[in-house]
Chain A
Amino acid sequence: MYIYDEFDRTLVDERVREFRDQVARRLSGELTEEEFKPLRLMNGVYLQLHAYMLRIAIPYGTLSSDQMRMLAHVARRYDRGYGHFTTRQNIQFNWIKLEELPDAMADLARAGLHGMQTSGNCVRNITTDQWAGVAPDEIEDPRIWAELLRQHLTLHPEFSFLPRKFKIALTASAHDRAAVKIHDIGLRMYRNGAGETGFEVTVGGGLGRTPFLGKTIKPFLPKRDLLSYVEAIMRTYNQYGRRDNIYKARIKILVHELGAEKFAREVEEEWHSIKDGALALDPAVVADIAARFHYPDYEELADNPPELAKAREGERFRTWLANSVSNHKVSGRAIVTLSLKPEGGPPGDATAAQMDAIAELADRYSHGEIRVGHEQNLALPHVAQRDLPALRRALDEIGVATPNVNLISDIIACPGLDYCSLANARSIPVAQEITRRFRNLDVARDLGRLHINISGCINACGHHHIGHIGILGVEKNGEEYYQVTIGGRADERAELGTILGPAVPYGEIADVVEDIAAAYLELRARPDELFIDTVKRVGVDPFKERVYAAR
């Protein structure tokens, strides 16, 4: 993970000081709410239903154990003892007081944490694969490039007042675990025919009211040109993105209205003027950033140590191993996913006690490093296979070893109307009920990989458009209703889901999910045909018929 140098630390400290001054000027009335709101948003401070909400950035989803302990401290000292991990690899605290925010920010800064640009019309947290740096199928660690971009776009004087928010994601594996196609800029690292590594650049992906998948505007961008090319995209967007209508202000609308080709030409023209200037990436600059990325000094270990073979005799261990443990690029190691989706629990939440315990386990088993995924689970990326049995027992004790990763009860959900002032309907109790209906892990395993995404409103923070089953909360006559889509995908074969039928009331949504699951069991060609593949093969109508037959 990236270790701050004195420049990085100074910047965050200066930011804290600036925010302290801004809060003071707001509390004294010198700043109006209208003047203050964009400033607090640029520090990740929202006003929600019950209180202020603070969103802390976890750059590309990498966290140190010390940072996790600091998050636990903030949860205890300034909040109600828990935090929520989000679909953009951030963490949210829901009960923060504005008056205490400068102190909370100062505490966070000591651990190199901040809320810079986690909201507002600027570039948000840059996300990537939560297995970056350890995934067997990756060509190189995308986080170095994410960090280069993060720095370049932090407090960028030209791009801090964009038409709307801006989200960037990177992947460096054939299998896209970062959902780059639904981002404003998607960067896919790959090796071209000549053996050079560069980026395929997609632009204009995004969900919400008008969902789009990103369009390729640059099939191969050399690494040297990353900053200048992104600068050219941002400058084009800043000048020509719509400012008259917030629902049409994202870059996806600009790309759609101009057409991808014309947009690409505009960017190319701007880029030609700057590509060989100060933003051309000198290998020395890249090496400098890379030098501060700390990689563990792995002890040499063999795969399948005796501890593992012995532990496999136990059914619980075997189940967990098959579900929550993934291959690592270094022999003798494994990547362990921690499920934050216990039965009946709010998806993605962790208590301060859990955070402290996880930090402890990270120190003992994962070289002090933790990852946050957009599926709202955590991961320990550097675990020795021989430690898996002991680790599983410890994870089970703190309630993060439910072997439901990627199964139907591993639900991705926004906070919804229980917390969020934008919401139309609640999402957490819907998720909780679904996990109760599918508490039987044999049933869940039989259903196989099945991603449910729930959003409490059309802003789609739950990414419902790209869920295998997507659930969108809507309001009808003051009542909560839910619109269901199926067939969405978040990966390299990204697709938007198709509406199944009329929205159903709160009392019926869990039944609908059960009916969809039953329909899948009936329609699948073989037990190992995944839900998403069955939908692709037979289409939406057979599901629609079965689900709406009795409704």
Chain B
Amino acid sequence: MTSPLQQKLKITGPVVVTANRLGDGAVVYRSGDGSWTEELAAAAVVTTTPAAMELLTAALSDKLRAVDAYVAPVELTPHQQVLPGNLRERIRFNGPTVALPGES
């Protein structure tokens, strides 16, 4: 998908801020208390552009723990479960869609 790092901010649904952890490159999400979590369920979900900008700005200024933060869409199920909002984010969250070599 077009790299989200180049997109203009235009919030049309629920979003989170995501990045890669500096030390190991793992996919992480910004949570409400300013920490980073690997659990999408614990991520701060916002629905307006100003809220997204605020979350993103805070994330970007945290240069030490996470790299290349950006705003990513999520999907909220009827039971308020948070799911990745597009294929790229599904792959980032779940891993490659293909079995890794050596796995059956």
Contact = CB atoms under 8 A, between A and B. Distances in A.
Partners in one complex: yes
Contact of A98 (B22, B87, B96, B102): B22
A428 interface: yes
Contact of A99 (B3, B24, B95): B24
A10 interface: no
A32 B63 contact: yes
Interface stretch (A359-367, A389-397, A415-423, A528-536): A415-423
A349 B86 CA distance: 27
A536 to B, nearest CB: 34
A98 B25 contact: yes
Interface string B51-77: 000000000000110011000000000
Interface in A77-112: 80-82, 96-99
B92 A47 contact: no
Contact of B97 (A26, A32, A351, A426): A426
Contact of A478 (B3, B67, B87, B102): B87
A47 B1 contact: no
Given A29-B64, A33-B63, A346-B101, A418 B23 contact: no
Given A417-B87, A417-B91, A421-B3, A98 B98 contact: no
Interface stretch (A49-57, A375-383, A441-449): A49-57
B28 to A, nearest CB: 11
A418 B93 CA distance: 11
Contacts of B86: 478
Contact of A80 (B20, B25, B100): B100
B41 interface: no
B26 interface: yes
A51 B24 contact: yes
Size bracket, chain B contacts: 20 to 34
A49 B88 CA distance: 9
A447 B38 CA distance: 48
A96 B95 CA distance: 14
B92 A49 contact: yes
A353 interface: yes
Given A418-B96, A428-B98, A480 B63 contact: no
B2 interface: yes
A515 B96 CA distance: 28
A50 B1 contact: no
A436 B78 CA distance: 38
B92 A50 contact: yes
Given A32-B63, A82-B102, A429-B98, A49 B24 contact: no
A418 B25 contact: no
Size bracket, chain A contacts: 35 or more
A48 B87 contact: no
Interface string A8-50: 0000000000000000001101001100000000000001111
B3 A50 contact: no
Contacts of A423: 1
A353 B25 contact: no
A78 to B, nearest CB: 11
B26 A418 contact: no
A33 B102 CA distance: 34
A426 B22 CA distance: 25
B101 A48 contact: no
B45 to A, nearest CB: 20
Nearest to A49: B92
A29 B63 contact: yes
Contacts of A96: 25
A208 interface: no
B1 A49 contact: no
Contacts of A424: 1-2
Contacts of A428: 96, 98
B102 to A, nearest CB: 4
B27 interface: yes
A192 B24 CA distance: 54
B68 A47 contact: yes
Contacts of A501: none
Interface string B1-40: 1110000000000000000101111110000000000000
B63 A418 contact: no
A32 B102 CA distance: 37
A49 B27 contact: yes
Contact of A350 (B67, B88, B101): B101
Nearest to A97: B24
A99 B101 contact: no
Nearest to A48: B25
A345 interface: yes
B85 to A, nearest CB: 9
Contacts of B3: 421-422
Contacts of A81: 100-102
Contacts of B26: 50-51
B98 A432 contact: yes
A346 B88 CA distance: 19
A422 B2 CA distance: 7
B37 to A, nearest CB: 16
B67 A33 contact: yes
Given A50-B95, A97-B23, A345 B87 contact: no
Given A80-B100, A423-B1, 14 more contacts: A26-B22, A47-B25, A49-B92, A51-B25, A81-B100, A81-B102, A96-B25, A98-B22, A350-B101, A419-B96, A422-B3, A429-B97, A478-B86, A480-B87
The 9 closest A-B CB pairs, nearest first, are: A418-B96, A51-B25, A97-B24, A52-B25, A82-B101, A351-B102, A349-B101, A99-B23, A428-B98
Interface of B: 1-3, 20, 22-27, 63-64, 67-68, 86-88, 91-92, 95-98, 100-102
22 contacts: A47-B25, A49-B27, A49-B88, A50-B26, A50-B92, A51-B24, A51-B25, A80-B100, A80-B102, A81-B101, A81-B102, A82-B101, A96-B25, A345-B101, A349-B101, A353-B102, A417-B88, A418-B91, A422-B3, A423-B1, A428-B98, A429-B98
